[in-house]
Amino acid sequence: MTAVKRAFKYRFHPTAQQERELLRTLGCVRLVYNRALQARTQAWYAEQRRVNYAETSALLTAWKKTEDLAFLNEVSSVPLQQCLRHLQGAFVNFWEKRARYPRFKSRKRGKASAEYTRSAFRWRDGRLWLAKMDQPLAIRWSRPLPEGTRPSTVTVSRDPAGRWHVSILVETSVAHHAPTSAAVGVDAGITSLLTLSSGEKISNPKQERRERAQLATARRRLAKKTVGSGNRAKAYRKLARVHARIADRRRDFLHKLSTRLVRENQTIVIEDLPVSGMPRDGRPARAIPDATWSQFRSQLEYKAAWYGRRVIALDQWFPSSKTCSACGLLLDALPSGAREWTCPGCGVTHDRDVNASRAILAAGLAVAACGGGVRPTRRQPARQSPVKQETQPARVGIPARG
C-alpha cells in the first residue's frame, strides 16, 4: 500500500447566484495574478530585484485598502493568496529552467480556476460548500471518493466551453499490483500511436482528424462575427466545445491505454521524446500534438509510481530504429521511408517499428540491470531538429534523464 494524493474531478452545475459569485472570484484571481506578475517583472527590469511571495502578499493587502480595488474584499481571500503561491511556483520553475517565463492570464481565453484550502470550504455528508456561498455545489458524482477520505484542497475551474468542474484533492492509499516479470518496450509513432515489443501495434485514433470538418465550420463562423459582439462569444463557445470533445476523447483513450500497460507489465521502457522541440510546420505539425506523447508519458509515470511499477526513459538520441534487435548491429543510415529492413549481419528482416520497440526494451533492461543509461557518442549538431528519426550512432553510457 502506498499513500498518495489523488485529485478527483467532477462536473457541477452552479445556481445563478453561485455562478455570479464564482465568476467574480475568478475575475479577482486573474486580476491579482496579473498585477503581481507585473510588479515582479517591473522590479526585475528596474532594480534587478527578485520579488518573493511574502512581498506580493503584502502588495495584495495594500491593494485591498485602495478605493479602486476595494472589491477584492468581497470574495474569499484564500483563492487570492493561492494564486500568489502558484505564481511563486511558476517563477521557481522558470529560474530552474523547467518552464518558460510566466504569462499573464487572459480574460477571454483559456481555463480559469480558483483554489480553496480547508479554511475556505466546508465538507459535510458528501456535500461541498464554498466560502461566501449558502448552498452546496450540485456536483455530478460520476464516481465516489475513496471511503473515509476528506478533501484537503478544492479547485473550481471553468473551461472555454463554459463547463464548470471541481477537482477534489484527497489523500488515500493505493494497493500495488502483484509483481510480475513482464517487461515491454514502447516505440511511439504517428501512424501507429504505439508499437510494443510484443509485436502489437496500437493505432492512433487521430481524434483531431475526426473532428476536422466541425473545427473548420466553427472557425469560419467565428471569423465572420463582429469582434466584441455577443454572437462572437457564442461562436467562440461552440468552437471551444468541439476542442473540449476532442480533448476528452483523447484523454479517455490514453488513460485506458496507460492503465492497461501498467497493469500488465512490471517494467515499461520508453523514449525521452522532446515534443516541444519537434517541427511546428508541415504535416507533422498537426499529427504530433494529436498523438499527445507527453501526456501519455505523464500518465505512465504517475500510475507506475502508484502501483509499484517502473518506467525507464531512454535518451532521445538512442538509435532504436537503426539497431538490430537480434544481433545488435548498428546501421550507418536508414531511410525515413523504409518500413522494413534486413540486417546485413544476421539476415533477419525487421519491421521498423517492432524492431525499434525491441531495441528499446533491450536497452532499458540493460539500464535496469547495470544502472547505466543510453546516450549518444558525440554531440549532436546545434541546429539539428530533435525529431524521432535518429541520425547518429549511440552507445551505453550515462543517462541524460533517468
On whether the CB atoms of residues 90 and 52 are closer than 8 A, the answer is: no
From the candidates 21, 301, 353, 390, which is the catalytic residue?
Answer: 353
Q: What is the pLDDT of residue 390?
A: 41
Mean pLDDT of 7-20: 96
Calpha distance 146→175 (Å, rounded): 13
Angle, helix 212-223 to helix 230-264, in steps of 10 degrees = 160
Written as one string, the DSSP assignment of 119-170 is GGEEEETTEEEETT-SS---EE-SSPPPTT---SEEEEEE-TTS-EEEEEEE
On whether the CB atoms of residues 33 and 87 are closer than 8 A, the answer is: yes
Mean pLDDT of the chain: 87
Q: In the Cβ-directed half-sphere of 8, how many Cα atoms lie within 13 Å?
A: 18
Q: In the Cβ-directed half-sphere of 179, how many Cα atoms lie within 13 Å?
A: 1
Q: What is the pLDDT of residue 285?
A: 54
Calpha distance 290→190 (Å, rounded): 9
Mean pLDDT of 202-215: 87
- Rg of the chain over all Cα atoms, to the nearest angstrom: 25
On whether the CB atoms of residues 296 and 255 are closer than 8 A, the answer is: no
Is 271 tagged catalytic? Answer: yes
Name which residue leads in pLDDT, 74 or 382: 74
Helices (H) and strands (E) in the chain, counts: 9, 16
Mean pLDDT of 146-156: 93
pTM (predicted TM-score):
0.81
Q: Which helix (H) or strand (E) holds 255?
A: helix 230-264
Q: Residues with Cβ < 8 Å from 178, sequence gap 6 or more?
A: none
DSSP 317: T
Question: Would you place residue 394 in the very low, low, confident or very high pLDDT band (cuts 50, 70, 90)?
Answer: very low
Q: Output the nine-digit C-alpha cell for 9.
A: 474531478
Task: Give the number of other Cβ atoms within 10 Å of residue 50's Cβ.
Answer: 11
Mean pLDDT of 350-364: 91
Is 353 tagged catalytic? Answer: yes
Q: What is the pLDDT of residue 72?
A: 96
Q: What is the pLDDT of residue 388?
A: 44
Residue 123 pLDDT more than 90? Answer: yes
Q: Which helix (H) or strand (E) holds 366?
A: helix 352-370
Calpha distance 38→59 (Å, rounded): 12
On whether the CB atoms of residues 194 and 202 are closer than 8 A, the answer is: yes
Calpha distance 34→103 (Å, rounded): 8
Mean pLDDT of 232-254: 93
Calpha distance 245→264 (Å, rounded): 29
232-239's contacts with Cβ under 8 Å and 24+ in sequence apart are: 236/108, 236/160, 237/160, 237/161, 237/162, 239/215
Residue 402 pLDDT more than 50? Answer: no
Calpha distance 330→294 (Å, rounded): 28
Name which residue leads in pLDDT, 350 or 286: 350
Is 74 tagged catalytic? Answer: no
From the candidates 21, 115, 208, 271, which is the catalytic residue?
Answer: 271
